[in-house]
Amino acid sequence: MAIESDVVVVGGGLAGATAALSAAREGAHVHLISANESTLRQASGLIDALGYPEPGPDVDGDGGASASGPLADPFAGIDDLPETHPYRVAGADALREGLALFDDAVGDLYRGGHTDRNALVATTSGRTKPTARYPRSMAPGVVSDERPMLLVGFEAATDFDAELAAERLSAAGVPFDVSGATIAFPGEYRADAAVTRLAHALERDEDAGNGRTTRQRLADRIRPHLGDAERVGIPAILGDAHVEEVRADLSERLDAAVFEVPTGPPSLPGIRLADRLFEALDEAGVSMTTGTPVVDFESTGGADGDRIDRVLIDRNGARIPYSAEQFVLATGGLVGKGLDSDRERATEAVFDCHVPQPDDRTDWSAEGAFADHAFARFGVDPDGTMRPLGRDGEPEYENLRAAGGVVGGADVAREKSASGVSLATGLVAGRTAAEEA
């Protein structure tokens, strides 16, 4: 017999979690199915809403949006987006409500909710990035804070060159003095030790030789470089779950505010966020099945179009059905494999919903590496309640909604809007699904 719920959400990333929380908040019984580990674990942990305005024509010919500076107020940029952008489709309040739901779910783990304005956070490559919410562990690093800064990198870590990042920040005109230093991480590790290994050593404050602990020796090695710095940025490896304890200890030892600099994968802030969202889902009474991809579905025709009856997951070769009144598709985009493609066309992977795209594969990308690529906007084309529309402009299924990366119409990387699009579309998809369930 099929397992029944009001709403089944397919996908366990930020959009899926948001949709599930949003539906549960409306009183629906929600079941969330996730194929594999959340792609959040690869993300920096920053929650971008809208960082740059829709780029105008490429006047300088470099294919980039470099002419426009970042938006101080992400909400101010929404009206200028094209009508097909998910923010326009989901409605003006969706982003604001999505951010509120996020704040509620993550609690003290994040900062930035006190203002509508974007913060600027220094990235590992020393660029300033506009973002709406940032982990508390990154708060002292915001770029509009004018306190002098020291960035610290580790000799054997190849992703972060602290001196180069400091030079780039200075060149960008940040309103504070910033310098960089490279030190050896205390203790004996292989040159290619995993960042998670170093995070464990800091979290457990392991013995690092000479009767001193990892944090003690780390502070000792940073101290000679401090100068006038009042805050110290370290790549985001300051412990697993107890980052605040690690940070407080190091801050006290250095007499400076220690903060994390967001990194590429594997990203501890991303892992912490994924873990926190699963706790929130649990608290909200959402039931979950993880590690099982949806491999098929069953539908029936109805008066107002086709309805999805159930989806089937694959567990060790057995196909297990999940029934619901409403379904939310939050399987991600090209990276999360919610979208698939071959030499002929790009497709939506589970329900084969219509994905608008240029006919000729050559037109999927543009010449400049950071130019306006059609593929970056690939995804389903939703109506105002996030139902994917077919080629004919009618909903593909009357009880299917989409959220997050699988929704097209935005180049979230160039706009710096990935998380915001997940929150806004997840909120609307979850809420309208619950209302109809």
**Of 91-110, which residues contact other proteins (CB under 8 A)?**
108
| CB 95, CB 121: distance < 8 Å | no
Distance (Å) of CA 339 to CA 319, 352, 411, 418: 22, 9, 15, 16
**Does 130 help bind other proteins (rule: CB under 8 A)?**
yes
Select 92 or 184, whichever has its Cβ closest to other proteins. Answer: 184
- Which region among 77-85, 208-216, 333-341, 381-389 touches other proteins (by CB under 8 A)? 333-341
Select 109 or 403, whichever has its Cβ closest to other proteins. Answer: 109
Select 112 or 395, whichever has its Cβ closest to other proteins. Answer: 112
In whole angstroms, what is the distance from residue 358 CA to residue 375 CA? 9
**Does 129 help bind other proteins (rule: CB under 8 A)?**
yes
**Of 20-49, which residues contact other proteins (CB under 8 A)?**
42-44, 48
Instruction: Output the smallest distance, CB 158 to other proteins, in A.
Output: 4
Beta strands 128-131 and 119-122, pairing class: antiparallel
As to burial, measured by CB atoms within 10 angstroms (0-12 exposed, 13-18 middle, 19+ buried), residue 344 is exposed
**Of 234-273, which residues contact other proteins (CB under 8 A)?**
244-245, 247-259, 262-265
User: Which residues, other chains included, contact 114 with Cβ-Cβ below 8 Å and sequence gap of 6+?
Assistant: none
Instruction: Output the smallest distance, CB 379 to other proteins, in A.
Output: 11
**Of 375-404, which residues contact other proteins (CB under 8 A)?**
375-376
| CB 385, CB 364: distance < 8 Å | no
- Which region among 7-15, 111-119, 297-305, 395-403 touches other proteins (by CB under 8 A)? 111-119
Task: Name the amino acid, one letter, at 107.
Answer: G
Q: Tell me if residue 163 falls in helix, strand or coil.
A: helix
In whole angstroms, what is the distance from residue 111 CA to residue 99 CA? 11
Instruction: Output the smallest distance, CB 234 to other proteins, in A.
Output: 12
Select 247 or 431, whichever has its Cβ closest to other proteins. Answer: 247
Question: How many residues of this chain interact with other proteins, rule: CB under 8 A?
Answer: 106
Which residue of 3, 156, 284, 389 would you call a contact of other proteins, by CB under 8 A? 156
Which residue of 171, 210, 300, 317 would you call a contact of other proteins, by CB under 8 A? 171
Which residue of 335, 358, 384, 435 would you call a contact of other proteins, by CB under 8 A? 335
Beta strands 134-135 and 128-131, pairing class: unpaired
Select 43 or 222, whichever has its Cβ closest to other proteins. Answer: 43
- Residue 146: how many CB atoms within 10 A of its CB? 11
Handedness of CA 77, 104, 252, 249 (dihedral sign): negative
Checking phi first, is residue 416 left (phi over 0); if not, alpha (psi -120 to 50) or beta?
left
**Does 436 help bind other proteins (rule: CB under 8 A)?**
no
Length of the chain, please?
A: 437
**Does 6 help bind other proteins (rule: CB under 8 A)?**
no
**Does 111 help bind other proteins (rule: CB under 8 A)?**
yes
Task: Report which of 398, 399, 401, 349 is spatially closest to residue 378, judged by C-alpha positions.
Answer: 349
Instruction: Output the smallest distance, CB 433 to other proteins, in A.
Output: 27
Extract the runs of DSSP E, i.e. beta strands, from 239-345: 257-261, 287-290, 294-302, 305-315, 318-329, 339-341
Which residue of 25, 212, 225, 361 would you call a contact of other proteins, by CB under 8 A? 361
Contact pattern for other proteins over residues 275 through 314, marking x by CB under 8 A:
----------------------------------------
| CB 138, CB 261: distance < 8 Å | yes
- Which region among 2-10, 274-282, 370-378, 421-429 touches other proteins (by CB under 8 A)? 370-378
**Of 46-65, which residues contact other proteins (CB under 8 A)?**
48, 51-52, 64-65
Task: Report which of 404, 421, 330 is spatially closest to residue 30, judged by C-alpha positions.
Answer: 330
Select 56 or 265, whichever has its Cβ closest to other proteins. Answer: 265
Select 191 or 303, whichever has its Cβ closest to other proteins. Answer: 191
Distance (Å) of CA 74 to CA 51, 119, 129: 6, 10, 13
**Of 190-229, which residues contact other proteins (CB under 8 A)?**
190-192
